Amino acid sequence: MFRTISHYEEDGLGLPYPVVLIDSVEEELDAAGTQIGVSIPDMEQLVAAVAIARAIIPLRLDGQEVRFMRHALDMTATALAEALEIDKATFSRWENNKQSLGGWADKQIRLMVVVTLGKFVPSLNVDAEQIPRMRIADRPDGVWPQLEMRRVAAPGGGADGAEQWDRLRLAA
């Protein structure tokens, strides 16, 4: 038997905080009602949606978030460093929180995420032009973005009932 979970905190995405999935995760129950498994639909699209949702929250990126975004882009550290035209040792320091990203690098990573992954999650409908104008604030210690995601009907409808991930709530 399967049951939809109304509020599920996914903490296995590689971020330093959980992402809340609303009415989108199914748990499998045995005959006694004991949970035997959890199913998250379309994990690749969820990762892309979370990366985009995080990219538009104007708090400075943490190293783990940079690594998460790099994985969402399906790039190696060397490839992303080359794309940004920076030294791979500098990129490594960013991912390992040994050095903070400057404003330019922070925005470039966000822009790459929105432009590259946006086509996989059209329900988010993010304007990439907002990234260069974004005012990035420092993130106070212990304060993390709060991301809530849900499944929604795909834009344009469709007879197959396709669904996509969308952001429900974004907060800093």
Choose among 151, 172, 166: nearest CA to 52: 166
Across 42-46, 75-79, 158-162, which has the greatest mean pLDDT?
A: 75-79
Give the type of residue at 135.
R
Choose among 169, 29, 57, 37: nearest CA to 113: 57
- CA-to-CA distance for 13 and 68, rounded, in angstroms? 7
The kind and range of the H/E element at 52 are helix 43-55
**Chain mean position to CA 126:** 13
pLDDT tens track for 19-32: 999 999 999 888 88
pTM above 0.75, yes or no: yes
Q: Which pLDDT does position 114 carry in this prediction?
A: 96
- CA-to-CA distance for 133 and 103, rounded, in angstroms? 11
- CA-to-CA distance for 24 and 114, rounded, in angstroms? 23
Q: Where are the domains of the chain?
A: 2-171
Let me know: does 110 contact 133? Beta carbons within 8 Å: no
Arithmetic mean of pLDDT over the chain: 89
Q: Is residue 10 pLDDT above 70, yes or no?
A: yes
pLDDT tens track for 40-69: 989 999 999 999 999 999 999 999 999 999
Q: Which pLDDT does position 86 carry in this prediction?
A: 94
Residue 159: pLDDT band with limits 50, 70, 90:
very low
DSSP string, 63-125: HHHHHHHHHHTT--HHHHHHHHTS-HHHHHHHHTTSSPPPHHHHHHHHHHHHHHHGGG-GGG-
**What are 11's two structure tokens?**
């903490």
Q: Is residue 128 pLDDT above 90, yes or no?
A: yes
Q: Which pLDDT does position 76 carry in this prediction?
A: 97
Q: Which pLDDT does position 85 carry in this prediction?
A: 95
Bridge partners of residue 27, in order along the sequence: 3, 38
